[in-house]
Chain A
Amino acid sequence: VKPHRAHLALFALLTLWMCLAWPHLDEQFSTTRQTLAALAVVSWDERTAAEWPAGYRAAQAVARVVPPSGSVLVLAYTGPAALNYYQARFPYYLYPRRLRVADRTDAPSDTETYLVVFRDAPATLAREPFRGHWDSRQLGERTAGRTRLFAGDRVEVYR
């Protein structure tokens, strides 16, 4: 194979490769443009909040009022898959606090000093309904003797 033929063969291969890659590159061009238009103007904090609105704001509230050495029980009114998600994602934002997330108002709290009541966004609950155990009277009894440190739209923090 002469050198220029070798170059032509490699050029043909690269062209074929790029043709096959083109739909993805085109799609990514639009995605990047839209993403930059929506996110480049806001802070990192706001971007994270936009991606995970209810959970991130709740985690921020807990981080503000519970010290790093604190131990927290989160009673979450949310569906099973979302609960699994929060069990993994809350620790990312709240470490080194000790954390347990449950979807039952009768969840035992042995060592936790702080109690967090979290109600998920209606849109998330519409996608996946709550399947745990939620008794408002029982919840009232559990929070009655505690000091409320924070009260927001979807989250309350008690000590």
Chain B
Amino acid sequence: VIALAGAALAAIVGWLAAGRWIRGGWPAGAALGFAAGAGVLSLQLLAYSLLHLPWKPWLVLLPWAPLAWQRLRQRPAFQRPAPPNWLEVLALLAMLAAPALWLPYERAMPLTTRGWDAWAIWLFKAKAFYLDGNVQGVLARAGEFAWQPSYPLLVPLYGAFLHTLAGTASDAAAKSLSPCFFFALLGVFYCLARRFTTRPAALVFTAMLANLHMVNIVAFELAGYADTALSVYLLAGAGFLYAWLRDGQPSDLALASVFSSLAAWTKNEGLFFLAGVGTVAAARLAVRRIPDWRCWMAVLLPPAVTVLPWLVLRRWYHVPASDLFAAGRWNWANLVPGIGSFAQAFQLGRYNLTFWLLLGALLAARRAGLGAPWWILPGLAGWQMLGLLGAYAAGRNDLGWWIGTSLDRILAQLAPLALFASALIFGALAAPAQTEHLTPRRESRNLKAKRSKTK
């Protein structure tokens, strides 16, 4: 009940905060709203903590009441979707298979020995923040625990919000955040895929994501980890960046920047991702000489709100950084086994056909005619892998141990993005007639044809 209430409140808060930029029906509103809302609530708790305000649920939700009242007065228009065809029904049924098996298991299991990072890092902080009623108490004792004090705080603070909602430190409520982010991942994937391809293709690829073994493991077996949340933000950040590069809508740029910043507020890998997204956006704005100050604000404001306060707070409390590149012991020999370890991505048992499809999509991209913006999707996945290689080369940890304990989760973070890139290509190849209006190059061809006819 607490998990559902927390997810619903996060979705409402996120929808109130970012709803003006979100297009699509209720799945988009719920999934993107939850993803944005979890981030907004975590930042709100951080602000309350710094302002010495108590973490009472009503006090956290109070600032959103006027906005909610205003939105409720404007009745949201819901479009009745067209009835599903046989393939869509099949895809919807397939989408339920893995979650129906995994969710009761996750709800029954306590925190286990296998979920080290959950209780040693993410949920430990969530519990400690809740018990203290602020973040300063734990940060002041940063050197005392076997945790990663410099890791960002979205997941711990959202976990603390769930404890606050429960009125007690509840492991079951806190670890529910991973399944909630898993369902948000499916929603975000479907909404983004639906925007650029046909409904059957979007549903089929969403069903495939729902049954991706390693993504299931990270969301349900390793509930309490931050990886599922990160994969939502990576997918949304990359997806909306692609949308902006393709369509040029400032609202898409704003969402790309918001979700990339929330990725950086979730895990340190997200900082690298934010740097990639920010560089691409700033380069495009500069090269195209787009003078719109709103676009620049959309690029600069979300990182300033999410990342900067945490960096300042870390320095203020002398929290030792876990910056991988600060080790200063570069070991380039690590690159060879590091690159070799990426072959794990092609294991059918763990990632099914995800990365094989991505290879196929890379080969078929030209034929699908999605144009240059599509390349940003595999490009950002490659950028993340490059960051991982850099971390391997920095030689901070024993390479074998590191690959063994984290590579599968890092690939699981990237799998939704890889599958999304493939969905666009194979969706366009499978149904070019239906995706004509969705692909820019074909749209221009059609316009040309129409113009020549009218002439």
Which residues of A are at the interface with B, using a C-beta cutoff of 8 A?
1, 3, 6-7, 9-11, 13-14, 16-18, 20-21, 23-25, 28-29, 31-32, 35-36, 39-40, 44, 47-48, 50-52, 68, 84-85, 87-89, 91-92, 95-96, 98
- Cβ of A28 and Cβ of B101 under 8 Å apart? yes
A36 to B433, CA, bound (A): 48
Which residue on A lies nearest to B105, using beta carbons?
Answer: A32
What is the CA–CA distance of A112 and B264 in the complex, to the nearest angstrom? 38
CB distance from B406 to the nearest CB of A (A): 17
One digit per residue, 1 when the CB lies within 8 angstroms of any chain A CB and 0 when it does not, for chain B 179-215 equals 0000000000000000000101100100110011100
Question: Shortest distance in angstroms between A64's beta carbon and chain B's nearest beta carbon?
Answer: 16
Main secondary structure on B side of the interface with A: helix
Cβ-defined contact, A36 with B120, below 8 A: no
Q: Is B312 in the interface zone, CB < 8 Å from A? A: no
The reply to whether A91 and B430 form a contact with Cβ atoms under 8 Å apart is: no
Binding site for A on B (CB under 8 A): 85-87, 90-91, 94, 97-98, 101-102, 104-105, 108-113, 116, 119-120, 123-124, 127-128, 131-132, 137, 141, 144-147, 171-172, 198, 200-201, 204, 207-208, 211-213, 216, 348-349, 352-353, 426, 429-434
Give the Cβ gap from A135 to chain B, nearest Cβ, in Å.
Answer: 26
8 Å CB contact of B348 from A20, A28, A31, A98: A20
How far apart are the CA atoms of A6 and B109 in the complex, in Å?
42
By the criterion CB–CB under 8 Å, are B131 and A13 in contact? no
User: CA separation between A31 and B111, bound complex, in Å?
Assistant: 16
Contact residue among A10, A31, A51 (Cβ-Cβ distance under 8 Å from B430): A10
Whether B128 pairs with A96 at a CB distance below 8 angstroms is yes
How far is B402's CA from A122's CA once the two chains are assembled, in angstroms?
A: 31
Q: How far is the CA of A29 from the CA of B120 in the complex (A)?
A: 29
User: Could you tell me the distance between the alpha carbons of A44 and B127 in the complex, rounded to whole angstroms?
Assistant: 16
Interchain CB contact under 8 A, B431 and A48: no
Nearest chain B CB to A60's CB is how many angstroms away?
A: 13
Chain B residues in 8 Å Cβ range of A1: 429-433
By the criterion CB–CB under 8 Å, are B434 and A3 in contact?
Answer: yes
Can you give 18 contacting A-B residue pairs, CB < 8 Å?
A1-B429, A1-B430, A3-B431, A10-B200, A11-B87, A13-B208, A17-B352, A24-B213, A24-B349, A28-B102, A32-B104, A85-B113, A87-B146, A88-B120, A89-B119, A92-B127, A95-B127, A95-B128
Which chain A residues lie closer than 8 Å to B212 at the CB level? 21
Chain A residues with Cβ under 8 A from B91's Cβ?
14
Q: A9 is contacted by which of B213, B430, B433 (Cβ under 8 Å)?
A: B430
**What is the bound-complex CA distance between A3 and B102, given in angstroms?**
34
Query: B172 contacts which chain A residues (CB < 8 A)?
Result: 44
Name the B residues within 8 Å of A89 (CB-CB): 119-120
Contact status of A32 and B124, CB under 8 A, knowing A1-B430, A9-B430, A44-B110: no
Report chain A residues within 8 Å CB of B94. Answer: 14, 18
Least Cβ–Cβ distance between A15 and chain B, in angstroms: 9
Q: B97 to A25, Cβ gap below 8 A?
A: yes
Chain A neighbourhood of B127, CB < 8 A: 92, 95
Given contacts A6-B431, A25-B97, contact A51 B147 (CB under 8 A): no
Q: Is the CB of A21 within 8 A of B431?
A: no
Contact indicator A28/B352 (Cβ below 8 Å) = no
A contact residues around B433 at 8 Å (CB) = 1, 3
The answer to whether B171 and A48 have CB atoms under 8 Å apart is yes
In the bound assembly, the distance between CA atoms of A87 and B104 in angstroms comes to 31
Q: Given A13-B204, A18-B94, A21-B98, do A96 and B109 touch, yes or no (CB 8 Å)?
A: no
Taking a contact as CB atoms under 8 Å apart, the answer to whether A17 and B98 are in contact is: no
Q: Given A92-B123, A92-B124, A96-B137: A17 and B208 within 8 A (CB)?
A: yes
Please measure, in the bound complex, the distance between the C-alpha atom of A17 and the C-alpha atom of B422, giving whole angstroms: 14
A68 to B127, CA, bound (A): 14
Could you tell me the distance between the alpha carbons of A28 and B217 in the complex, rounded to whole angstroms?
A: 10
Alpha-carbon gap, A1 to B348, bound state (A):
28
Q: Determine which of A7, A39, A88 lies in contact with B109 in the assembled complex, contact meaning CB atoms within 8 Å.
A: A39
Q: Once bound together, how far apart are the Cα atoms of A20 and B204, in whole Å?
A: 15
Q: Are B108 and A39 in contact (CB under 8 A)?
A: yes
A28 proximity list for chain B (CB < 8 A) = 98, 101-102, 105, 216
A10 near B204 with CB under 8 A, answer yes
- Of the residues B98, B111, B207, contact of A25 by C-beta under 8 Å: B98
> What CA separation (Å) do A36 and B100 show in the bound complex?
13
A92, B200: Cα distance in complex, Å:
46
A152 to B348, CA, bound (A): 49
Task: Tell me the complex Cα distance, A29–B216, Å.
Answer: 13
CA distance A25 to B137 in the complex (A): 43
Across the interface, which residues of B come within 8 angstroms of A32, CB to CB?
101-102, 104-105, 108
